[in-house]
Amino acid sequence: MELKQLEYFIAICEEMHFTKAADNLRIGQSALSYQIKALEGELGILLFDRLGKKIALTEAGKILKGHSHKIIDTIKIANDDLQELQTLNKGRLTIGALSGDLSHIASMALLEFHSIYPHIQLQFFAMDDVVKKIKQNAFDLALTIIPPDDDQLNMIPLYEEEFYLVVHANHELANQSDVEIGDLQNIPLILNPKDHCFRHWFDAICAKQGILINPIIESTDIKAIINFVINGKGATILSSRLFRIENNGHLSTIRIKPSLIRKVAIVHHKQKHIGAAAKAFKALLNSYLEIYSWENSDRSSTPKKMVLSQSNKEFL
């Protein structure tokens, strides 16, 4: 049974006349008759009684008429829903991000995304192992440090960023241009806990230099860490972009030698379809990152208010 045959069948039911139905469909009467006979042959039952020049629905025809309307209506609704997905008036988007500064950046971009596409249902998760969730098909996209090559993953590099020692603008080190990584162990630091992904990365770098870091305060809340620094309780380590986002004029950066560089990417499963909502979020995230780019900017300045456009489309 073909959809076209059902459409032809409904057209005849509306007119109860083959010639008028054929005219409405803009096809020949013989072609219409052929399709109805083929449908009746497939079903093994007559749909119309032919009474001279008149026709009437059989009991089977009446049953099929009711179902045909439901089928056509369902297909129309499905087409409308698919169109809404493409125009971002419906749908769901699940995003994961490495907990810490990357989850903070992703959440701010999602806030803007929601203001542009309020009908998209959003789910956002910050955790240490977002790559595992991508492999399990639990997330559409994830923002994370570039993982090792993996046949299941498609990785879209976004940027490289440097991490800096961040202090209050009145801190005794604020006017210092750089600091040796070995000197960090003598500075009161406020960092994520040891089991946090950033600390794994940072502690591994320090361990290679024979450095042991013992923070005076630990927190999983990046806002809390920054507030401690603003209130002069110690220093922290922040990525360039997060500093640009969070600096309110009370913070200063000091370059760490040798430089701490991290590569960041968006990842998704190679076999997962990337829909319009995921593509739009990726484009918006790129716009967001460009606004808070470290290049050609004053590290002590406050970033401009984010302004993003729906027309800025850079798809995966």
pLDDT > 80? residue 77: no
Mean pLDDT across 51-74: 89
Per the CB < 8 A criterion, the answer to whether 267 and 155 are in contact is yes
- What pLDDT score does 84 carry? 61
Co-location of 59 and 101 in the same domain: no
Q: Is residue 311 part of a domain?
A: no
pLDDT band at 2 (very low <50, low <70, confident <90, very high): confident
pLDDT value at position 303? 37
pLDDT for 85: 64
When pLDDT is cut at 50, 70 and 90, the band that residue 286 belongs to is: confident
CATH number at residue 33: 1.10.10.10
Q: How large is the average pLDDT for residues 153-160?
A: 90
Domain boundary among 29, 53, 86: 86
Considering the domain architecture, whether residues 283 and 222 belong to the same structural domain is answered as yes
Q: What is the average pLDDT across 256-284?
A: 90
Question: Which of 86, 101, 130 is the last residue before a domain boundary?
Answer: 86
High-pLDDT (> 70) share of the chain, %: 90
Characterize 195-212 residue by residue with b for buried, 16 or more Cβ atoms within 10 angstroms of its Cβ, and e for exposed: ebbbbebbbebbeeeeee
* Same domain membership, residue 109 and residue 23: no
Are 170 and 214 in a shared domain?
yes
pLDDT for position 313: 36
Residue 69 maps to a domain: yes
Which element (helix H / strand E) includes 141? Answer: strand 141-145
For residue 153, pLDDT beyond 80? yes
Mean pLDDT, rounded, for 55-77? 88
Are residue 96 and residue 241 in the same domain, yes or no? yes
Residues 151, 58 share a domain: no
Total domains in the fold of the chain: 2
Q: Give the per-residue pLDDT at 314.
A: 37
Please give the average per-residue pLDDT across 154-180, as a whole number: 93
**pTM of the shown model:** 0.59
Q: Please indicate, yes or no, whether residues 127 and 29 belong to a single structural domain of this protein.
A: no
What's the mean pLDDT in 197-204?
Answer: 87
Residue 268 binned pLDDT confidence (cut-offs 50, 70, 90): very high
Q: Which domain holds residue 112?
A: 92-291
Asked if the structure places residue 156 within a domain, the reply is: yes
pLDDT above 90 (res 12)? yes
Same domain? For 39 and 165 the reply is no
Q: Is the pLDDT of residue 299 over 70?
A: no
From 27, 62, 86, give the residue that closes a domain.
Answer: 86
CATH code, domain with 244: 3.40.190.290
Q: How far apart are CA 230 and CA 210, in angstroms?
A: 30
Task: Tell me if 297 is assigned to some domain.
Answer: no
Residue 13 in this model has a pLDDT that exceeds 90: yes
* Same domain membership, residue 112 and residue 56: no
pLDDT > 80? residue 315: no
State the number of CA atoms in the 13 A half-sphere of 212 facing the CB: 1
In the chain, where does DSSP find H-type helix? 3-15, 18-25, 29-43, 59-86, 101-116, 130-135, 197-208, 222-230, 240-246, 276-291
Q: Cα–Cα distance between 86 and 245 in angstroms, integer?
A: 32
pLDDT band at 312 (very low <50, low <70, confident <90, very high): very low
Residues 21, 144: one domain? no
Residue 193, domain member (yes or no): yes
Q: CA dist 279 to 94, 113, 169, 283, Å?
A: 12, 11, 39, 6
Question: pLDDT per residue over 113-129, tens digit each?
Answer: 999 999 999 999 998 88
Residues 204 and 240 in one domain: yes
Looking at residues 247-270, what average pLDDT do you find? 92
**81 in the same domain as 206:** no
Q: Which residues contact 154 (CB under 8 A, 6 or more apart)?
A: 267, 268, 269, 270
Question: Given this model, what pLDDT does residue 235 score?
Answer: 97
Report if residue 137 sits inside a domain.
yes
219-225 average pLDDT score:
90
